Structure 1
Amino acid sequence: MGVIVAANTGYTLYGNLIDTATVSASSQLIPVYNLKNMQPGKVWRASGCVEETVTVDLGSKQFVDAFAVVNQNMNGRGTIRVQFATDAGFTDVLFDETKRAIMPEAGLGYDPFGWSLGGYPRMDDPQRNQAIRTFLAPKKLKGRYTRFTFKNPTLAAGYIQAGRLFVGRQYIDEYGFEAGWSYTWNDPSQISDTERSIFTVSRPRFRLMNGKFPAMSPEAAFGAMDRMKKQLGKSKDLIVSAFPEDQWSAQRAYATSIYGVLSETAATGNPFFERFDTTLSARELVP
């Protein structure tokens, strides 16, 4: 089994509350309720791209500290704003952050002026670079309403779309992931080989990441980690990122960020006094 490893800034997002929430949008060429579907290929599509919003009503006040947008079609000129509030009018706002829709990249890339030094990675291949943008609150907040505001007036498609929204919790271990991490592409295609010919059934490729947490405190092992394992199981979605917000290589940040489900979990062990370890494996859900 490979091992996910990251700097101490690596994180896992879990406990997505959008499945039981009420979602509404400023416009919808393709229904906004698709955002409640875990499959990122089932998108919500707005009628425009100048300014579009999606509002998530959790039904009651809930503890939240993580937000994300998955599989959106915006370019480097676009922005995404996330607001979290206690009221539907967003007068009592607990969290408010705006980011570029595509993570800035140091080095050659695509920016508003074209291909240049210090641009943005191109999202031409969603199988290779599924656009994930995350927003982390500095502490746990108790609110009810989340508003996502998308602005991208120069978007060539003329409309904004997204495959999944995330409103939930974050887990960041005090020691990060263990060094030596790896990820791989998995190809589930089938090949039938006869004496005279070869037949193939092509299927979408997806990434697999396996992460080991080698030195958790008792509070983390039997608190946040145990709660995360129980909530996720194998049927709930998560986002895991080894190099989030990488300032030196946006390509590395996207390559090591996965939206998917848990494919395997190991038991929590006790290798050292007052230190505990476990392993999580994530399977990507592709558009």
Structure 2
Amino acid sequence: MANVLLAHPNVADGGALSGGSWQVALNNLMDRRLSRVARSTTAAKADTQFVLDLGQSRLVSVIAVVRHNLSTAAKWRLKMANDPSFASPVYDNAVLVPPDGSASLQMDFVAASYLLWDPDWQLAWPTLFPPSALEWEDDNFWTGSITEEARREYPSLLLVVLPKPTAGRYIKVEVDDEANPDGYVEFGRVFVGRAWQPQYNAKWGASLGWETDTTVQRALSGTPYFDRKSGRRVTRFELGFLSRDEALGGVFELQRQAGVDREVLLIWDKDDAINLLRQSYLGRLRQLNPITRAFVGNHSNPFEIEELT
């Protein structure tokens, strides 16, 4: 299990977007309102790609595309480079599949640019259910992914956690979803930033749950009527074993910069592939809790992070 990751600030907003063909503006990816989507003119590969120029080389830990309509058959690829041609990328999330069918390897162009295997793109909807959670008759029994029907209401996220902070200026996102039933691809937000990770993970007792603003009214007969609203995730946890440097250089600075109004990307456990999408989301600090000097040489701080919807 990997320790929790908190990413802030989002440096994508200082960059410039280009590429693809969009019937609803690509620059909507820089609007915090997730309902202001960027929508491609068609679902063709050439129309659904885009490039983000950060303006200068920046050290990046995580990259995310928040809220999309990609189908369960969709694949995607992300590259980062310091040249706009992407001839020598510093990162590529494609997976290499050796010709002999052995275990796939994470592509690292810096160390393994000589490899000649064709890269395979990442699934937009990876495995979300273990076999024990499904019945033999379920449509998604063999893939473990969600069904095409369910994905329309499921929290969607394209997420890359780089193996280590990597400096790059240009980021390219490509999508292979030409059979998308909507006939187009849309995205809500792009997030690029550094992530802070404590040396010791959150204490036991952390929680993840749903909150909703759905209201209920009852008729005189007692029949309930609902005004349904989409739910949002809320994660509560405490970092109880912080060093002074982590407490002041990490938590204190995160609170100062993010406040309760700015975006924080939460990645609970990057090594939990099945639950990565469930436990990771773009949110905000709901409140700024004071740092406590718990005992000699140790600090603690509770977090409450609310999903942005």
TM bin, normalised by shorter chain, reads 0.7 to 0.9
The amino acid of 1:160's aligned partner reads V
Residues 184-193 or 164-173, more deviating:
184-193
Aligned partner of 2:166 in structure 1 is 141
What is the RMSD computed on CA atoms of the aligned residues?
A: 2.8
**Superposition map of 1:145-160 within 5 A:** 145-160=170-185
Aligned partner of 1:43 in structure 2 is 37
Aligned partner of 1:205 in structure 2 is 231
Matched, 1:25 2:19: yes
Aligned partner of 2:77 in structure 1 is 81
1:100-135 deviation digits (Å, cap 9, x = unpaired): 11122332679xx94323421236457963112211
Aligned partner of 1:3 in structure 2 is none
**TM norm structure 1:** 0.83
- For the 8 Å contact 1:103–1:245, the answer to whether it is kept is no
Task: Mark the runs of 5 or more structure 1 residues left unpaired by the alignment.
Answer: 1-6
Matched length: 275
C-alpha displacement of 1:191: 5.4
C-alpha displacement of 1:175: 1.9
- For the 8 Å contact 2:62–2:195, the answer to whether it is kept is yes
| Pair 104,200 (structure 1): closer, same or farther in 2 beyond 3 Å | closer
Matched, 1:59 2:40: no
Q: Percent identity between the aligned chains?
A: 19
Aligned partner of 1:266 in structure 2 is 289
* Separation in structure 1 between the aligned mates of residue 255 and residue 286 of structure 2, nearest angstrom: 11
Decide which of 205, 213, 218 is 1:180's aligned counterpart: 205
Aligned partner of 1:224 in structure 2 is 250
| Pair 140,241 (structure 1): closer, same or farther in 2 beyond 3 Å | closer
| Pair 127,12 (structure 1): closer, same or farther in 2 beyond 3 Å | farther
More strand by share: 1
* Separation in structure 2 between the aligned mates of residue 146 and residue 124 of structure 1, nearest angstrom: 31
C-alpha displacement of 1:211: 2.2
Residue aligned with 1:115, SS: coil
| Pair 101,200 (structure 1): closer, same or farther in 2 beyond 3 Å | closer
Residues 86-95 or 197-206, more deviating:
197-206
Matched, 1:11 2:5: yes
* Separation in structure 2 between the aligned mates of residue 123 and residue 219 of structure 1, nearest angstrom: 47
Matched, 1:214 2:214: no
Residue aligned with 1:277, SS: strand
* Separation in structure 1 between the aligned mates of residue 212 and residue 58 of structure 2, nearest angstrom: 39
The amino acid of 1:166's aligned partner reads F
- For the 8 Å contact 2:69–2:152, the answer to whether it is kept is no
The amino acid of 1:186's aligned partner reads E
Decide which of 155, 163, 166 is 2:191's aligned counterpart: 166
Residue aligned with 1:69, SS: strand
C-alpha displacement of 1:269: 1.6
* Separation in structure 2 between the aligned mates of residue 218 and residue 240 of structure 1, nearest angstrom: 22
Structure 1: 4+ residue segments shifted above 6 A:
192-200
* Separation in structure 2 between the aligned mates of residue 195 and residue 47 of structure 1, nearest angstrom: 49
| Pair 159,195 (structure 1): closer, same or farther in 2 beyond 3 Å | closer
* Separation in structure 2 between the aligned mates of residue 8 and residue 119 of structure 1, nearest angstrom: 23
Task: Mark the runs of 5 or more structure 2 residues left unpaired by the alignment.
Answer: 95-121
**TM norm structure 2:** 0.78
